[in-house]
Amino acid sequence: MRMQAKAPVIGKGIPVSPGVIEGPVKIVESPEDVAAVKPGDIVVVKYSNPLFTLAAMASAGLICEVGGVLTHICIVSAEIGIPCIARAENITASLTDGMIITLDASQGLVYGSHE
């Protein structure tokens, strides 16, 4: 995507499940947050929790701050075929709900808005 060259890289992680998606951020910090995930959201979690699996299944992409490719939620993301990166250090501090980002899970990069 050419627009990525203009957009700032705001996070890096380990590619888990390839793909590129643009959409709004939904930070999931507790099981109560799962119900607020909408189709097209890019779910951001600090850590894996089996209760967050439903958030991953409803989302267009996933970013996990802590953990690796064998983290439960990352395995689920790969199985359902959504773009996913793991070990994206401090990503929850860099993002806010509703922020539009591009997740390039093939490269393990998160881009901010290109506007």
Q: Give the active site residues.
A: 72
Based on the number of CB atoms within 10 Å of its own CB, is 8 exposed (0-12), middle (13-18) or buried (19 or more)?
A: exposed
Closest to 61 (Cα-Cα) out of 115, 101, 113, 93? 101
8 Å CB contact between 108 and 18: no
The one-character DSSP state at 115 is: -
15 Cβ contact list (under 8 Å, min separation 6): 85, 105, 106, 107, 108
Count other Cβ atoms within 10 Å, centred on residue 30. Answer: 9
